[in-house]
Amino acid sequence: MSIARARGSLICQWDDDDLHHSRYVDTMVGFMEANAVGVAFLMQCTMWWPSRRQFALPRQRILEGSIVADRSLIPIYPSLAKGEDTFLTMATVQRHAVVAVHAPQLYVYTVTGENTWDERHMESMSEGEGSARCADEAYGPIFDRLDSLYGVADYQRYCLNARANRESEDQWSGTSSM
């Protein structure tokens, strides 16, 4: 429905708990123009687990949630609880020329515990060839850089408090969020 109601000529997917660099759209459109294509995807993002004090780069692949595209090239999203982004990405890649951009600093996927996919799925994305996780001692300097780009210190506190509240509620209800 949001695509049908959109008034602009570009479609860009946003996830409300993730972080996008202020130049994200400009950079992606620049790559589209330089390559004379109507669709751009990132090949990697930065994954951030505030509760674990962990950063990772997932293995390289077309990142579904990073699409920036000419609106006329986007198929209708199917009504699926999960995996609708994968359908849209595969349909787009099969029908149109795309540019794959390697700039993981432009998009930070935040693993909050409230994501559509569980944490094990997120872990599996950051395992295997082409992936990397930061060492424990590297978290502070990487976080400081992230905070300088995005101002995320308050967001980190929010994520940690929300997780603590979920775990407290789960303790009383007898369920587990993991």
* pTM for the full predicted model: 0.80
Taking 70 as the pLDDT cut, the residues of the chain under it are 78, 80-84, 115-118, 121, 163-178
Q: What is the pLDDT of residue 163?
A: 63
Q: What is the pLDDT of residue 103?
A: 95
Q: What is the pLDDT of residue 178?
A: 41
Q: What is the pLDDT of residue 46?
A: 93
Q: What is the pLDDT of residue 34?
A: 98
The overall longest dimension of the chain from CA atoms, in Å, is 56
The residues near 44 (Cβ < 8 Å, ≥ 6 apart) are 57, 58, 60, 63, 102, 104
